[in-house]
């Protein structure tokens, strides 16, 4: 039952963002940029585990994964302005993000950051 509640709340959030973005792109973007998914993930994890060590590791790892995801939000619109179709722009942005994730994990390990 708890799983279904998590799915329903998460789905409503995503549907709300996409609906708002159709009418007011900036408002949809503002809501999408909020770390609501991260906060919901933390809430669900805490309710299910009450484990402060797991939570600390999760939140710290989230920080390190947010940083390499940011360039995607510049690459996709730049590619589309250059005439690249949406799906190809999205694929390129996602591929860049995966590459930057791998780079982050590799560099982080050299500095003792375990992701």
Cα–chain-centroid distance for residue 37?
A: 7
**Tens-digit pLDDT profile for residues 59-88:** 999 999 999 999 999 999 999 999 999 999
**Tens-digit pLDDT profile for residues 9-58:** 888 988 988 898 899 998 888 888 888 888 988 999 999 999 999 999 99
- Residue 100 scores a pLDDT above 90: yes
Burial of 89 (0-12, 13-18, 19+ CB in 10 A): buried
What residues contact residue 79 under an 8 Å CB cut-off, 6+ apart? Answer: 88, 89, 92, 93
pLDDT number for residue 2: 84
* φ and ψ of 3, to 5 deg: -60, -45
SS (H, E, C) 34-74: CCHHHHHHHHHHHHHHCCHHHHHHHHHHHHHHHHHHCCHHH
Please answer whether residues 68 and 94 qualify as being in contact, where contact means their C-beta atoms are separated by less than 8 angstroms: no
**pTM score of the predicted model:** 0.77
């Amino acid at each position: 039952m708890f799983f279904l509640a998590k799915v329903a709340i998460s789905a409503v959030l995503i549907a709300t963002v996409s609906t708002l973005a159709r009418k007011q792109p900036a408002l949809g973007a503002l809501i999408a940029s909020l770390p609501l998914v991260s906060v919901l993930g933390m809430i669900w994890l805490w309710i299910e585990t009450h484990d402060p060590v797991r939570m600390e590791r999760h939140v710290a790892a989230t920080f390190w994964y947010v940083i390499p995801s940011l360039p995607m939000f510049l690459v996709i619109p730049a590619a589309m302005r250059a005439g690249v179709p949406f799906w190809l722009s999205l694929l390129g942005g996602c591929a860049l993000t995966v590459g930057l994730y791998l780079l982050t994990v590799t560099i982080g390990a050299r500095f003792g950051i375990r992701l």
